[in-house]
Amino acid sequence: MIVWSLGRLATWMLHLIVDTSCSESLWTTLFFIFVAWIASYLWRWWRTSRNLPPGPLGYPILGYLPRIKRDFHEELTALSRQYGSVFSVKLGSELIVVLSDHKMIREAFRREEFACRPDNDFMKLLDGYGIINTEGKMWKEQRRFLHERLRHFGMKHMGDGREKMEARIMNEVLELVGDLATKKSDPVDLGSYLSSSVSNVICSLLMSVRFRPDDPKFIRFTSLIDDGFKLFTVTAAAGFIPILKLLPGFNYAFNKIQQNLKEISGFYQSIVDEHKKSFDPNNIRDIIDGYILEIQNAKEEGRSEKLFNGKNGDRQMQQIIGDMFSAGTETVKTTLQWATVFALREPHMQARVQEELDSVVGRGRMPSLDDLPNLPYTEAFMLEVMRRATAVPLGTTHSTSRTTTLNGYTIPKGTQVIPLIHAVHMSPSLWKDPEVFNPERFLSADGTKVVKPEYFIPFGVGRRVCLGDVLAKAELFLFFSTILHTFKLTLPQGATMPDLRGQAGVTVSPQSFQVCAEGRDIEKVDESTRETTEILLSCPASAQ
Ligand code: HEM
């Protein structure tokens, strides 16, 4: 009907325009064009918005943005209590759909049309390289390739090669406890130690490099990444309100991100170049070697054009380093910092972990991954840390590749979809007293087994679930259990107890605090663990 009327209108207008002698008719024509345009806009708007998930009202142009009064994940959690498990909110010109129920997140994220990423300026800057911000065929192939490479380097729950992953991690853990031991119970900022140790695990896996915390290259490299995260927050605002792009501050932030990316890419490229020089197909040392081998194989098999969707191999390697480094460092470091905060706040729970370690591992060696099944309380403590202080409270934003429905609501193409993990982990209907830190909620009634409910989802769910979850779990266990096996953690005299209000960014991290690490009669780091680690690290990995 509407199409027919618009057709009639167009014919009539054409007729009038031909008869240019009549200016009154021209104005009438323009008026009708305007009305038709408004009508078609309203029609499209009504068709998509009549069935959107419910949500709060916002202001014109700005949407709900001026009404945000607290950290974004907390604001959205409060809205989810009011509007339900699927709700929508307009931030500037962007429609956001928030999922705050684990079943709804699972239902959406198992479907292909929810597996895209938002099309914003940052995404354009990355130009389809890497893994986190890629989509479609490129993303699928990269995910498969990286998953297989990570398994090859031992990122699996059991089986051959796992000890190699453990050795990479233990190498850093032992260095860290060695450094802490030299402080002889003086107050330290554990965060800065963890920063370089956790970075080194991922750097060793990606590019066989490790840094000392005072290495100027490392300091520059991490400060560029930190800056990038901060600047990203500034440019993200312009993603919601495009008019902000006209402000000089936005241009400055955007250009700075570009400059930083260029400098970091140069640094990554120097590592790729060194790898190419010393490359040996019979000794694949790390993920970068894995990529170089894949590029060579593709050349020999005549499929170079198809590899990375025809994109540049060097740029893909650079962005993979960037993506894996940013996804795998801050998250693990933040979780370990929170674990320290809870160990300080709950000294009797810290003591219970230490008793369990003493009785299962004994005082003669450090904990290993093989001990994990026999340490239910230690594992439950870490799981409770990941629940109570969800490191990535908003998950990573997805976007829809086409208009679809969810729970009876219309979700238009290009909608940003947020999996609100924080709301799931703090839901009073799923967890008794969710504010209370209580590792026992992850234990069976007799306390001998770890029980993980399906609504515990720190790594997300579905097609884009965290690619590094196996590595992350191994790191969290080995760092945390070894630190507590070696030291008693206490608050420096006169210091105030770190509180549970975090600093919200891409992750939520604790405010900075200091801790004293008092040795627990393993004076020197255990020699046998160090020897095994060194032997394992010196074994070459086979090419595949
Ligand atoms: C405590 C540690 C970690 C937590 C809590 C965590 C959590 C998450 C979450 C919530 C997502 C988003 C899933 C989604 O988009 O729906 C994610 C994605 C991802 N994570 Fe992790 N992560 C951790 C450690 C790691 C590590 C160590 C690595 C690297 C080895 C890693 C690599 C990735 C990658 C590559 C993605 C993007 C996957 C994709 O887009 O297909 N993560 N992670």
List Cβ neighbours of 454 (8 Å cut-off, separation of 6 or more): 102
Strand runs (DSSP E) across 186-321, as ranges?
Answer: 187-188
Expressed in angstroms and rounded, the spacing between residue 395 Cα and the centre of ligand 1 is: 9
The answer to the question of residue 55 being in a domain is: no
Interatomic CA distance for residues 220 and 202, integer angstroms: 17
What is the reported pLDDT for 522? 65
- Is the per-residue pLDDT at 236 higher than 50? yes
The answer to the question of residue 36 being in a domain is: no
Over the stretch 120-141, which tens digit does the pLDDT of each residue have?
Answer: 877 888 889 999 999 999 999 9
Domain that holds residue 478: 65-534
Torsion angle, alpha carbons of 291, 202, 115, 92, to 10: -120
Expressed in angstroms and rounded, the spacing between residue 468 Cα and the centre of ligand 1 is: 6
365-386 CB burial, b ≥16 within 10 A, e <16: ebbbbebbeebbbbbbbbbbbb
Residue 391 beta carbon below 6 angstroms from any ligand 1 atom? yes
Expressed in angstroms and rounded, the spacing between residue 375 Cα and the centre of ligand 1 is: 25
The answer to the question of residue 427 being in a domain is: yes
Over the stretch 142-200, which tens digit does the pLDDT of each residue have?
Answer: 999 999 999 998 887 777 778 889 999 999 999 999 999 999 899 999 998 999 999 99
* Beta partners for residue 116, in sequence order: 399
Residue 99 beta carbon below 6 angstroms from any ligand 1 atom? no
Q: Which is the closest atom of ligand 1 to the Cα of 202?
A: 30
DSSP state at residue 242: G
Residue 131 beta carbon below 6 angstroms from any ligand 1 atom? yes
The answer to the question of residue 19 being in a domain is: no
Q: Domains in the chain: how many in total?
A: 1
Interatomic CA distance for residues 327 and 332, integer angstroms: 9
ipTM score: 0.99
The answer to the question of residue 39 being in a domain is: no
What is the reported pLDDT for 284? 93
The answer to the question of residue 99 being in a domain is: yes
The answer to the question of residue 59 being in a domain is: no
Expressed in angstroms and rounded, the spacing between residue 229 Cα and the centre of ligand 1 is: 16
Q: Which is the closest atom of ligand 1 to the Cα of 471?
A: 27
Mutational test site, ligand 1, from 123, 140, 143, 331, max ligand atoms within 8 Å of CB: 331
List Cβ neighbours of 133 (8 Å cut-off, separation of 6 or more): 117, 122, 123, 126, 323
Torsion angle, alpha carbons of 176, 182, 184, 190, to 10: -30
The predicted model scores a pTM of 0.89
What is the reported pLDDT for 543? 38
Mean pLDDT within 58-71: 89
The answer to the question of residue 58 being in a domain is: no
Expressed in angstroms and rounded, the spacing between residue 30 Cα and the centre of ligand 1 is: 54
Write the residue with the smallest CA distance to atom 30 of ligand 1: 468
* 276 band by pLDDT with thresholds 50, 70 and 90: very high
Residue 114 beta carbon below 6 angstroms from any ligand 1 atom? no
Interatomic CA distance for residues 392 and 31, integer angstroms: 51
358: helix, strand or coil: helix
Interatomic CA distance for residues 86 and 54, integer angstroms: 8
| CATH number of the structural domain spanning residue 527 | 1.10.630.10
Q: Provide the annotated binding site for heme.
A: 466
Q: For 80-124, what is the HEC assignment?
A: HHHHCCEEEEEECCEEEEEECCHHHHHHHHCCHHHCECCCCHHHH
DSSP state at residue 333: H
Mean pLDDT within 267-273: 94
Which has the higher per-residue pLDDT, 119 or 45? 119
* 428 band by pLDDT with thresholds 50, 70 and 90: very high
Interatomic CA distance for residues 386 and 379, integer angstroms: 11
Query: Are the C-beta atoms of 155 and 149 separated by less than 8 Å?
Result: no
Over the stretch 386-426, which tens digit does the pLDDT of each residue have?
Answer: 999 999 999 999 999 999 999 999 999 999 999 999 999 99
Q: Give the DSSP per-residue string, 157-193.
A: SSSTTHHHHHHHHHHHHHHHHHHHHHTTT-EE-HHHH
Query: Are the C-beta atoms of 94 and 416 separated by less than 8 Å?
Result: yes
Query: Are the C-beta atoms of 309 and 298 separated by less than 8 Å?
Result: no
- Is the per-residue pLDDT at 529 higher than 70? no
